[in-house]
Amino acid sequence: MRVLIADDHGMVRDTIAAFLAAEGDVQVVTAQDLDDAMSAVADQGKFDLVLLDFNMPGMNGLAGLQKSIEEFPKQSFAILSGSAPNRTAQEAVDAGALGFLPKSMGAKSLLNAIRFMASGETYIPADLLRAEPETVDHPLKAKLSSRELEVLNGLCRGLSNKEIARELDLQEVTIKLHVRTLCRKVEAKNRTHAAMIAKEAGLY
């Protein structure tokens, strides 16, 4: 079995490669980004499976997967990730991947999953399929820090700065600063306007 592992984290890549190679019947080739992986496929021919790290350079999420499938339609690809949301597993398969492997998987389970996909079967860990549907982050969330989101939540509940400070175990002056900053970020005129923007956006 020939497997290509493409991951920009050297330790992760080398650990998985070493474990697979120790099986004796697995030939492993490694790459550090998408371009490197595509060059390996072009130069060395079809692999039984190519594992692409979801967050490595060149991937741009699932866009890199789709590009890879278009370039090598007869090659089997799977996504490897340590941080992608659960919904990405199904999205990856829908986009043409043979499966999705979390980096948190145990070594034996990882090997079994790779063999399963190399035989042409689709693989997604059962716990990801059972997971609760995740809410898609609102663009406003990307603008604010986790602390600012906590303060904004307090504003939406009609709490005063003093009440928010007590709830978050912070100084009232700190809350005032957060309110001022988050108002600027969401382009709100004042705290009431900020709460209104958040509620209208369905954030809280």
Q: What is the CATH number of the domain that holds 49?
A: 3.40.50.2300
Q: For residues 77 and 65, is the Cβ–Cβ distance under 8 A?
A: yes
pLDDT of the residue at 130 = 64
Does one domain contain both 144 and 190?
A: yes
Does one domain contain both 126 and 144?
A: no
pLDDT of the residue at 177 = 95
Q: Which long-range contacts (CB under 8 A, 24 or more apart) does 131-135 make?
A: 131/86, 133/87, 134/85, 134/86, 134/87
Query: What's the number of domains the chain is made of?
Result: 2
Q: What's the domain range around 113? A: 2-130
Q: For residues 65 and 79, is the Cβ–Cβ distance under 8 A?
A: yes
Residues of the chain with pLDDT under 50: 132, 134-136
CATH number at residue 179: 1.10.10.10
Does one domain contain both 145 and 121?
A: no
pLDDT of the residue at 132 = 47
Does one domain contain both 122 and 162?
A: no
Does one domain contain both 150 and 58?
A: no
Does one domain contain both 102 and 22?
A: yes
- Residues 152 and 144: their CA atoms lie apart, in Å, by 9
Does one domain contain both 125 and 155?
A: no
Which of 99, 130, 161 is the last residue before a domain boundary? 130
Which of 88, 111, 130 is the last residue before a domain boundary? 130
Does one domain contain both 110 and 160?
A: no
Does one domain contain both 112 and 192?
A: no
User: Strands, DSSP E only, in the chain?
Assistant: 2-6, 27-31, 49-53, 77-81, 100-102
8-state DSSP, 190: S
Which of 130, 164, 185 is the last residue before a domain boundary? 130
Does one domain contain both 114 and 174?
A: no
Does one domain contain both 13 and 32?
A: yes
Does one domain contain both 43 and 61?
A: yes
pTM to 2 decimal places:
0.62
pLDDT of the residue at 162 = 95
